[in-house]
A = this chain, B = another copy of it.
C-alpha cells in the first residue's frame, strides 16, 4: 500500500469515526503501530489532524459541533447512503436533501461519477468538492441553522429552475397512515416542492423514524416512489410499509 494512500485512509477513518486509535488503525491497515504513529505525526505537522496520546482527533474539534454530528454517523445511515448512491446513474440530474443521511449519500457517490447534483445543503455541496466530474448546484436562500439547509420563499421560487430525474429526501416521521412528516415547517415546504418537480422521489428512512409522526406533513405515500432502508430494519419496514404504493429498497435485496 502506498504511503500516501495509507494517510488518506487514516484521514477517512478520522472523519468517519471522529477519532483514530493507533492500535486499531495499525490492525486495520496491516502495518506496525510505529508506522501509524509516524503517519499521524506527519499529518499533525501538516495540520490535518491533532495528535493525542493513543491516536488522533480532528483539528477543528473546538468549533465544530456539526463535525461532531457527522462523526457519529451510525452504520445504518452509512448503509442507507451507500444504497442511495448506488441508485444514481451517470448523467442524471439529482436533488439531494440536507441532513446526516443525505450527507452519507454524497460521501458514497463514486469519485469519478459524472452527473449533476442539486442541493440546498452547503454541507452536501462541500462534501462533493472532491468529485471532479460532478456539476454541483446550490439552491440559495436563508440558511436554517438547525438542519443546515436553505429554505424560505426564495428557496421555493429558486427550485422551479430544476426538474431533477430523481430526488433523495430525508424525513423525521414515517407513518403508514399519517404519511411522511418533518419537524420544521420551512423544510417541509422545500421537500414538498422538490418532490413535485422530480421524476421520482426517494425517502431516506433510518429506522428510528418508523411509525413516528412529526408536526409538518411533506406528503402521502403515493407522492413518493421509493423508500431506502438498511440492515435489520428491513423486516419492520416491510411490515409497516410493505402494503403501500411505494417500493422498498434495501442493501440486502440486490
A interface vs B, CB < 8 Å? 2-5, 15-16, 18-19, 21, 46-48, 52-55, 57, 59-60, 63-68, 71-72, 111-112, 122-123, 125-126, 128-130, 132, 135-143, 145, 148, 150, 154, 158, 161
State how many angstroms separate the Cβ of A185 from the closest Cβ of chain B.
Answer: 17
Query: Could you say which residues of chain B place their CB within 8 Å of the CB of A139?
Result: 140
Q: Are B161 and A148 in contact (CB under 8 A)?
A: no
| CB within 8 Å for A141 and B143 given contacts A21-B2, A60-B132, A126-B126 | no
Which one, B122, B148, B161, contacts A154 given CB within 8 A?
Answer: B161
One complex includes copies of this chain to the number of 2
Provide the main secondary structure of the chain A interface.
mixed
A178 CA to B194 CA, complexed, in Å: 46
Which one, B60, B68, B111, contacts A18 given CB within 8 A?
Answer: B111
Q: Are A66 and B5 in contact (CB under 8 A)?
A: no
Query: Could you say which residues of chain B place their CB within 8 Å of the CB of A4?
Result: 19, 52-54, 57
24 A–B contacts from the bound complex (CB under 8 Å): A2-B21, A2-B53, A3-B52, A4-B53, A5-B18, A18-B111, A47-B72, A59-B71, A64-B129, A65-B129, A65-B130, A66-B129, A122-B123, A122-B126, A122-B138, A128-B143, A129-B143, A136-B142, A136-B145, A137-B140, A138-B143, A140-B150, A140-B158, A154-B161
